[in-house]
Amino acid sequence: MKIYRVLKTKISQSQIIQNSAWGIGANILQTIFVGLFFVILARQYNSADFAFFLIASTVYQILVAFSSMGLGQWFIREFDVEIDKAGFTGKFIKIQTGLGLIFYLINIVLALILYPDAHIRWLCIILGSNIIFDNIIYCIKNLNIAEFKQKKTFSVLVLDAFFRLMLGCLLLIYPFSITTLCILLISVRFLTLNLFIKVGSSNTLNLKYVFHSTIAWEDVKRQILLNWQFVVIGSVAIIYWRISNIIIAKTLTLQDVADYEISFKILSIGMILPTIVAATVYTQFVKYYNSGDKDAQKLFYKKLFFVYSIYSVMSYSFIYSFADILLPYVFGEQYVGAILSLKEMFLTMLIFPTVLLQANLIVAMKHEKVDMLLNIFSFLIYLAGCFIGLSYFKSLTVINYSIFVSFIIFHISQNIFLAKRGITNFKNSLIVYILLLVFALGYNYIADHYNPIFVFMLFTLMLSLSLVFTFLYIKKGNGFDKSKWINKNYN
């Protein structure tokens, strides 16, 4: 009972938990709705039509990564110190709308160049119009983050996912072509945009400011040209995953395209929690940096690193134990090839949450150029791994391991930078890598030789007991001196 009261007090005092908890719950609903919609598509359409839809979606999603210029983090950081918030927001939205139009035209050109198939081209042109809507929604979402009003964002996104599920249900009752589906999806996105403007936006958003705001060259220079590092950071994060579909479509089979996309959809579910929390974490890092409280920043980082690591190993162990059972049951026997791909892809999940955490910290410290260079470096390693590996082995394994290796190098590079800044140290980083290696090899071996479900339950029980005993040991001590702890672990 005492532990419960302590945890309840901590939760009620934590701004991160308060700002993220509702969003996590909403995203669970959103994930269920979108997941069911995705399952319906996989079962209702043949693998060729399904693959065409995935390829067209990939082109649009890659260009969306560029179209926003990755300026969300910059907007959040500058919004905190901006005096004329309404005018600043209006100009941001107007510029983003213009960028959306430009990149929609680029989408059409790329579709004509990359794909000779008329069906794929037409799907790319239809789905590409999402770029314009998504850029405006992107502005509103970041405005809500800057004002700690993410609840509005998540409310509308849940409705958007529910509308998609209704389309899927309609497909079950009255089958229609994949082209009709894409047109209906665009209609849903347009409806979502209107919901964002009407009920899902902050009071700071004033359409009068948006329409009447004048965009001068200095505004373009300030938001885009002087912040090109954010363009690279935001783009690479999406391209890392989406460009794989294009590589697979050009080098492997349509079945591999579908298997990869199914694996990635499940991985995306695992990424939801750290991604949602990241929005609040980033704003907190910015506040610590602006106030100059380095000790609080270090302690905050260490706590989150521990929590993220626990989440990573739990996610990986769950997928490794249950993938063989759940995936064929949900998507059907025609996608059994996705089982191995999913297990391989979730290796990256072991380090993705802490990569995201450290990237937020680096950018909050105004070292976005460093984060940009690390993103480019790891992305080039990923591409090299893909092209070299695929020249010898035509397999999804090459894609998945190339992503995993590039993320490891990304993580190590981040640790080197943060160690030089006194945020962490090389000893702690090495211990983390050794523990993750021992865990992955050990869990894989045991789960392969014994009942994987029993192994997962036993591992969960042991980990839970360890965390409880650790918590009790800390509470039983003579107090916690933050300064001594930081000096011991980082200086």
Residue 135 has a CB neighbour count (10 Å cut-off) of 24
Among 325, 327, 320, residue whose Cα is nearest residue 456: 320
The residue behind tokens 């992955």 is: 440
Mean pLDDT of 395-408: 92
Q: In angstroms, rounded to a whole number, what is the distance separating the alpha carbons of residues 116 and 123?
A: 13
In this predicted model, what pLDDT tens digit does every residue of 417-472 receive, in sequence order?
988 888 888 888 888 899 999 999 999 999 988 888 998 999 888 888 877 776 66
User: CB of 411 within 8 A of CB of 383?
Assistant: no
- Report residue 153's pLDDT band, with 50, 70 and 90 as the boundaries: confident
Q: Is 434 exposed, middle or buried (0-12, 13-18, 19+ CB in 10 A)?
A: exposed
> Lowest-confidence range among 47-56, 334-343, 478-487?
478-487
For residue 93, give both structure tokens: 């939205």
Tens of pLDDT, residues 242-274: 788 778 888 888 888 888 888 888 888 888 788
Q: Is 398 a residue whose pLDDT tops 60?
A: yes
Q: So what's the pLDDT on residue 385? A: 92
- 103, 68 Cβ separation under 8 angstroms: no
pLDDT confidence bin for 170, thresholds 50/70/90: very high
**H-helix segments, 82-206:** 85-114, 118-128, 130-146, 150-173, 178-198
Asked if residue 260 lies in contact with residue 396, where contact means CB atoms within 8 angstroms, the answer is yes
| pTM of the full structure | 0.70
Q: Where are the domains of the chain?
A: 18-223, 242-491
* Eight-class DSSP state of 116: -
Burial 254-270 (b: 16+ CB within 10 A, else e): bbbbbbbbbbbbbbebb
* H-helix segments, 391-425: 396-420
Given a cut of 80, whether residue 90 has pLDDT beyond it is no
Confidence of residue 227 (pLDDT cuts 50, 70, 90): low
